[in-house]
Chains A and B, each alone.
Chain A
C-alpha cells in the first residue's frame, strides 16, 4: 500500500471520482444537452452565421472535450501529489 493510511486511499479515490463525475457532467451537457436534447431551443440563438445548437453539435462540443481532458490531467496530477502517489521523477 503506497498510501500512508487506509483512510488516505479512500479519500484519494473519493476525490478522484468526484473530479471525474464533475467533468463527465459537463461532457454530457455540451454534447447530449446542447447538441441534441436542447438543439431546437438553442438554434433560436445565433452566433455569427451559426445557429447555436448546430454549432455545439458540430464544433463547440469538440472544443469542450479537449479542454475537459486537459483540466482532468491538471487536477489529477495535483491530486496525486497531494496524497504522494505520483510516479517517480525519473520515469
Chain B
C-alpha cells in the first residue's frame, strides 16, 4: 500500500477509537465533567497527564529545536520535566487534599477574596487560549502535509473530533481518550527512533545509541557531529552558544511555569487519594520521560542524516537533480527552500556564506522517517502520532477554559444559585464556544503564536506558582500579600515580554536584556519579585484570619481527603 492510503487508514482508525471511547465514557455530573469524579487510577492518570502535557510542540517541534540548538536545547528537556518534581513534592498532594475543582478555586478560597479568584480566572483563560491556538495549527499542518487537504479543512476536522469528546465526555471522556492517545503518540515517536538508532549505531535503544559509535565504527556519533558542526561554521553541538545565566533562567522559568500551568495542576484533582496524587506525578513523568529522553537522540540522528543527505557523503554538496523525494515534497509546503547561489546545481548547508538551504526545524521529526528511508507504514504513523499529541492537549486546555467559565466565573462568582444540571449545561456550552474560538485562531493564527508560548510559561511562573506555594507553606500569608505579589509578578513579566517581543522586537538582543536574561527566562525573575513583594506586604498588613490558617493546617496531611467538592 502507498503512504497516502496507509496514512488515511491509520488516522481513521485512531479517530474511530477516540470517538468510541468518548461515547463509552460520557459525563453525567459536574464532578465527572470537571475531575472525572476523582476516580482515575494513578497509572492511567499519569498516562493521560503525559498526553495532555505533550503538545504538538513537544511532539513535532522539540526534537527539531534541539537538533538546531544542540546543548542549548537542554533548557526544554530539563525545564519541561523538572517541573514535575516541583509538582509532586510541593503542590499536587496539598491541592488534592484541598479538594476543589480548579486553580482559581484554590486561589480564591485560600486568599478569601473574589478579586484573587477573578485575577486567577483571567490568567487561566489567557494561558489556555494561547496554548490551544498552537495545537489547532499543529493539527492543520499535519493534515495538509500528510493527507493533502487544505490546512483550514484540517483544522475543522480536528475541531469536530475534539468537540465531540470534550463536550460530551468532559474530564472523564478526555482522560480515557488521552490514555489511548498517549499509546498512539508514543508508539509513533518510538518506532522511527528505534529504526534510525539501529541503522546509524546498531543499538536499538536510542538513549544509548546516540552516545555510541557510528555503525561503520571507529568514531563516536556525537564527536562526528561536533566535527561536522565546526567544519560548517556552527557552534559545537555538545557545547551550545547561549550564555550560562540565560540557560539557567530559561530552565527555571519553564520548570516553575510547568508547575503553575492550570491544565497540568487540574490533573491531580482527578485521582482518588492524596497518596495517589503523589504517585500519579511520578507515573506522568515516566511516561513523559520516554519521549523526552528519546528526543535528544532523534535530534542528533536527524541532524547527522540531514547534513549527510544535503552536503553529500564527501561534503561537497549533493546534486539537486538527484535529491531524494522528501526534499521535493517538503519544498512544496515551504518548510525547505533551496537557492543555488553558486550555480553548481548542488545543495549545501552551512552556517556561513556557503549556505544555500533554508530548513524549518519542524521537519526534523515529520520528515525523519523519510530521510532515513524507513518503510511506508512508519511514515504513515507519524501523522497519527502528531494528531494524537495535538488533539489530547487541545482537549485538556478546552476543559480548563470551560471549567473556568462555568465554575469559577458563573457558579462561584456571578450566578451562585444555578443547579448542578444547569452548571453542567453551561460547562458544555463554554467548551463548545471555546472549540470554535480555538478553531478560528487555528485558521487565522495571530502572527505571534510561537512568541506567546514564552508568555504562557512566564505568566504561570510569575503568578500562580508563588501564590500556590505560599498558600500551602506559609499559612499566615494574607490576601494582600498574595494579590500584590501576583499583580507585580505578572505586570513585570508581561511588560518585559511585550516590550521585547511586540513593541520593539529590533531591540531583542542580549546586549539590551536585563542582566542578559532573555524574555523566555524573565518569568523566573518575575517569580522572585512576586515572592519578595508578597513577603513585604504581608509584614505590613498582618496575618491571614485564624479560620484560613486552620484550613491550611488541614491540607498538610492526607487523612480525610474525600472526593473533590464544590464547597
A-side binding surface: helix, strand, loop or mixed?
A: helix
Determine how close the nearest CB of chain A comes to the CB of B286; give it in whole angstroms: 6
Question: Do A58 and B77 touch across chains, with their CB atoms under 8 A apart?
Answer: yes
* Given A31-B78, A59-B207, A86-B558; A65-B85 close (CB under 8 Å): yes
Complex Cα distance, B211 from A47, in Å, reads 8
Which one, A20, A35, A55, A72, contacts B211 given CB within 8 A? A55
Convert A65-91 into 0s and 1s, putting 1 for each residue whose CB lies closer than 8 angstroms to a CB of B: 110111011001100100111111001
Determine how close the nearest CB of chain A comes to the CB of B465; give it in whole angstroms: 14
Complex Cα distance, B255 from A31, in Å, reads 11
Question: Do A27 and B85 touch across chains, with their CB atoms under 8 A apart?
Answer: yes
* Given A3-B557, A59-B293, A61-B78; A87-B275 close (CB under 8 Å): yes
Contacts of B275 in A (CB 8 A): 73, 76-77, 80, 86-87
Question: Do A58 and B74 touch across chains, with their CB atoms under 8 A apart?
Answer: yes
B: number of interface residues (CB 8 Å) = 54
Count the A-B residue pairs with Cβ separation under 8 angstroms: how many?
A: 144
Complex Cα distance, B209 from A50, in Å, reads 11
- A residues 24-75 touching B (CB-CB < 8 Å): 24, 27, 31-32, 35-37, 39, 43, 47-51, 54-55, 57-59, 61-63, 65-66, 68-70, 72-73
Nearest neighbor of A32 in chain B, beta-carbon distance = B248
Contacts of A70 in B (CB 8 A): 282
* Given A12-B557, A58-B74; A32-B296 close (CB under 8 Å): no
Which one, A9, A20, A63, contacts B289 given CB within 8 A? A63
Nearest neighbor of A72 in chain B, beta-carbon distance = B89
Q: Check B251 for interface membership: any CB of A closer than 8 A.
A: yes
Contacts of B273 in A (CB 8 A): 87, 91
Question: Do B211 and A66 touch across chains, with their CB atoms under 8 A apart?
Answer: no
Contacts of B356 in A (CB 8 A): none
Q: Check B71 for interface membership: any CB of A closer than 8 A.
A: yes
- B residues 477-497 touching A (CB-CB < 8 Å): none
Question: Do B557 and A48 touch across chains, with their CB atoms under 8 A apart?
Answer: no
Complex Cα distance, B78 from A31, in Å, reads 7
Convert A1-36 into 0s and 1s, putting 1 for each residue whose CB lies closer than 8 angstroms to a CB of B: 011000001001100110010011001000110011
* Given A32-B248, A65-B84; A13-B556 close (CB under 8 Å): yes
Contacts of A39 in B (CB 8 A): 71, 244
Which one, B89, B90, B207, B248, contacts A36 given CB within 8 A? B248
Contacts of B74 in A (CB 8 A): 35-36, 54, 57-58
Question: Do B222 and A62 touch across chains, with their CB atoms under 8 A apart?
Answer: no
Complex Cα distance, B281 from A39, in Å, reads 28
Complex Cα distance, B78 from A16, in Å, reads 25
Q: Check B158 for interface membership: any CB of A closer than 8 A.
A: no
Q: Check B292 for interface membership: any CB of A closer than 8 A.
A: yes
Q: Check B212 for interface membership: any CB of A closer than 8 A.
A: yes
Complex Cα distance, B273 from A77, in Å, reads 12
- B residues 218-264 touching A (CB-CB < 8 Å): 220-223, 238-239, 244, 247-248, 251-252, 255
Additional pairs, 12, CB under 8 Å, beyond known A36-B251, A39-B244:
A12-B556, A36-B247, A39-B71, A48-B212, A54-B71, A57-B78, A58-B74, A73-B278, A80-B557, A83-B557, A87-B273, A87-B559
5 A-B pairs with CB atoms under 8 Å apart are: A2-B560, A27-B82, A37-B244, A73-B282, A77-B275
